[in-house]
Amino acid sequence: MNIQENISLQAFNTFGINKNARFFTVCKSIDDLKDSLSFAAKKNLPVLILGGGSNILLTKDLEALVMKNELKGIHKIKEDKEYVWVEVGAGEIWHDWVMTAIENNWAGIENLSLIPGTVGASPMQNIGAYGVEIKEVFEELKALNRKTLEIEKFDAEACQFGYRESVFKNELKDQYIICSVTFRLRKNPIFKTEYGAIQEILEKNKSQKISIKSISDAVIAIRKSKLPNPKEIGNAGSFFKNPTISNKQYERIRSEYPQIPGYPTEEGIKIPAAWLIEQAGWKGKRFGEIGVHEKQPLVLVNYGKGEGKEVKSLSEKIQKSVLEKFGIQLTPEVNFL
Ligand code: FAD
Ligand code: EPU
């Protein structure tokens, strides 16, 4: 185990915020995780488990041990006529795993192509895009209990998945390190192409037979056209979650803003936060080194030398103005540190 001191985390978070970790280590095995936890316990330091750093906002230097998860491995565990079960190490890069699944003709995660980050973080907020969430293909995960140092298994029910939520962000926050995730993928695909933009692209390429590869290609093209590439402009994807409001509140707002988009769900009407933020006048606004993205106002950006504190303060101003204008409270999706 190699523990480094006073390491800049700039290259380890997609916002590109330049803050330091007091201690930093890369964990490639469960033993590395245990040794690192014991080092932190001896020094009485908090720990941060880091994947690809694509859903965090660093607002300060971390007086902590940062443990970068690089537990690798992709293993087919079993299969039957319909499904294949594959256990994937938490430190595998999510998009690389999606590409491996597609190469093997394993279906179910093609709509989740090009989401940044690691496999281990994917259950944390039940990642989702273009009509699919990982809970639909999730079998179980193995996680190290940070207190007992035992490996425990969690099935989908135990994970309490919701929209960008799981038990690991709530009751069990900071108590487990996810070591591997087992997915149940289909041998015969069921294509999910309801999302308008996917349909448009597939329609354009009508001569091509629809496949999990063609859906993945369509998703990649849409994402590249809408979302800033963190290698060029720092960001963490959607900064806020899309809020759900009651039918009554929706009708009240619609009487004043007839164009308000809304999607019925079991809990009410889901409103695109991007629309609320654009209506509140923030789209494309730049404030020195940080700002609101010009194509996707749900994405806050760092143009280079921005500070996490500034991004946080901008996010609070956006929340306040959306609350004042529409009476809707936006909740951050990004984890503040
Ligand atoms: P990190 O940012 O490193 O960590 C996130 C949180 O999980 C932290 O609290 C961390 O401590 C914890 N954590 C990480 N790994 C572990 C582990 N092994 N065990 C325990 N805790 C852990 N998300 C979506 O859902 N859908 C999208 O379409 C989407 N698009 C995005 C587009 C862009 C351009 C960007 C930058 C982000 C996007 N995201 C999206 C958000 C992000 O990619 C996901 O949340 C991703 O799963 C984060 O993975 P990570 O490894 O980078 O996590
Ligand atoms: N919109 C505007 N103005 C804009 C852009 C969008 O008003 O400039 C409105 C439009 O009504 C549009 C709607 O927002 O139809 C939805 O926009 P988009 O399809 O870009 O998706 P989103 O709701 O902003 C969500 C997820 C993304 C995910 C996409 C695709 C959340 C918080 N975000 O974004 O996830 O990739 O759908 O499924 O649920 C992430 O979580 O980091 C993330 C990027």
CATH number, domain with residue 322: 3.90.78.10
Answer yes or no: do 171 and 247 share one domain. Answer: no
Q: What percent of the chain has pLDDT over 70?
A: 100
- pLDDT grade, residue 1 (50/70/90)? confident
- pLDDT grade, residue 199 (50/70/90)? confident
Give, for ligand 1, the residue of 115, 175, 301 to mutate: max count of ligand atoms closer than 8 Å to Cβ.
115
Answer yes or no: do 240 and 326 share one domain. Answer: yes
Q: What is this structure's pTM?
A: 0.97
Q: Within a domain: residue 193?
A: no
Answer yes or no: do 86 and 15 share one domain. Answer: no
Answer yes or no: do 94 and 36 share one domain. Answer: no
| Domain stops at, among 146, 169, 186 | 186
| Domain stops at, among 69, 93, 127 | 69
Give, for ligand 1, the residue of 54, 97, 293 to mutate: max count of ligand atoms closer than 8 Å to Cβ.
54
Answer yes or no: do 116 and 169 share one domain. Answer: yes
Q: Within a domain: residue 196?
A: no
Cα-to-centroid distance, 130 and ligand 2 (Å): 10
| Domain stops at, among 47, 69, 91 | 69
Q: Within a domain: residue 225?
A: no
What integer is the mean pLDDT of 270-296? 97
Answer yes or no: do 117 and 130 share one domain. Answer: yes
Answer yes or no: do 41 and 125 share one domain. Answer: no
What integer is the mean pLDDT of 192-218? 88
Answer yes or no: do 121 and 31 share one domain. Answer: no
Count of domains forming the chain? 3
What integer is the mean pLDDT of 241-252? 97
CA distance linking residue 175 with residue 143, whole number of Å: 10
pLDDT at 221 over 90: yes
Answer yes or no: do 182 and 278 share one domain. Answer: no
Answer yes or no: do 135 and 58 share one domain. Answer: no
pLDDT at 276 over 90: yes
- pLDDT grade, residue 77 (50/70/90)? very high
Q: Within a domain: residue 249?
A: yes
Cα-to-centroid distance, 54 and ligand 1 (Å): 5
Q: What is the pLDDT of residue 206?
A: 78
Q: Within a domain: residue 92?
A: yes
**Domain harbouring 61, CATH code:** 3.30.43.10
Q: Which residues contact 306 (CB under 8 A, 6 or more apart)?
A: 15, 16, 17, 234, 288, 289, 290
What integer is the mean pLDDT of 270-279? 98
pLDDT at 248 over 90: yes
Answer yes or no: do 143 and 51 share one domain. Answer: no
What integer is the mean pLDDT of 150-160? 98
Pick from 175, 115, 173, 165: nearest CA to 331: 165
Pick from 144, 128, 145, 104: nearest CA to 238: 128
Helix, strand, or coil (residue 63): strand
Q: Within a domain: residue 217?
A: no
Element holding 144 (H helix, E strand): strand 138-145
Ligand 2 in reach of 274 Cβ (< 6 A): yes
Residue-range definition of the domain harbouring residue 11: 3-69
pLDDT at 207 over 80: no
Q: What is the pLDDT of residue 202?
A: 85
pLDDT at 177 over 90: yes
Q: Within a domain: residue 125?
A: yes
Q: Which residue has the higher pLDDT, 49 or 207?
A: 49
CA distance linking residue 92 with residue 332, whole number of Å: 26
Cα-to-centroid distance, 74 and ligand 2 (Å): 31
Ligand 2 in reach of 296 Cβ (< 6 A): yes
- pLDDT grade, residue 53 (50/70/90)? very high
pLDDT at 209 over 90: no
Contact call for residues 118 and 69 (beta carbons, < 8 A)? yes
Mean pLDDT of the residues in the chain: 97
Residues assigned a catalytic role? 164, 238, 333
Answer yes or no: do 64 and 121 share one domain. Answer: no
Q: Within a domain: residue 259?
A: yes
